[in-house]
Amino acid sequence: MKKAFNPDNYSNWQLSSLTFLRVLIGWHFLYEGMVKLLASPPWSAKSYLLGSVGPIAPVFREMAANPTLLNVVDFLNVWGLILIGISLFIGLLSRPCKLAGILLLLLYYFAYPPFAALGVNPQAEGSYWIVNKNLIELAALLVLYLFPTSPVTGIDRFFRTKDITK
């Protein structure tokens, strides 16, 4: 019989390290969302989407070309970043928000993937090949999803059930 996952079995160092990672990623998402929300002039994903070079670039360009859809994308991007960030930061509903964060980071990754055949990425902060900060943060969210801490160190602890794997 499969043993239920129990974060109470973490050592203090494991729990502290995983919680610290969750809070850092939450801060990063929250900060990125707030910068976009408070930008002057108002922020839009239009230029980012139009310049995309990844395998689903035509889909991103179509989003940018449709003003109604672009407004939805802008709204979802800003508020997705903010809500995912808050969730991770305080440890509330963090498991579904980690999945949402992974999805968002996958979209960012495939908009500008660091593949040599695609040439230099003007959006990149450095020189990458296959692995970039989006993929690393995505992997960190996956680790946090598989080894959750919010049932012990977040607000989720007030809603905890015996088996948190479900």
pLDDT tens, position by position, 109-148: 999 888 765 555 555 566 667 888 999 999 999 999 999 9
Q: How many domains does the chain have?
A: 1
pLDDT at 166 over 50: no
> Domain containing 147: what range?
12-159
What tokens does 154 get?
């977040």
Give a yes or no: residue 5 inside a domain.
Answer: no
Reported as a single tens digit per residue, the pLDDT across 37-78 is 999 999 999 999 999 988 899 999 999 999 999 999 999 999
When mean pLDDT is compared across 73-82, 88-97, 156-165, the lowest value belongs to: 156-165
pLDDT at 82 over 70: yes
Give a yes or no: residue 149 inside a domain.
Answer: yes
- DSSP notation for 28-58: HHHHHHHHHHT-SSPP-SHHHHHT--STTHH
Give a yes or no: residue 4 inside a domain.
Answer: no
Structural contact between residues 15 and 152, judged by C-beta atoms closer than 8 angstroms:
yes
Q: Which residues, 6+ apart, have CB-to-CB distance to 13 below 8 Å?
A: none
pLDDT value for 114:
84
Q: pTM of the entire structure?
A: 0.85
Give a yes or no: residue 1 inside a domain.
Answer: no
pLDDT value for 138:
97
Q: Which residues, 6+ apart, have CB-to-CB distance to 51 below 8 Å?
A: 112, 122, 123
Give a yes or no: residue 2 inside a domain.
Answer: no
Give a yes or no: residue 166 inside a domain.
Answer: no
C-beta neighbour count of 65 within 10 angstroms = 12
pLDDT value for 118:
58
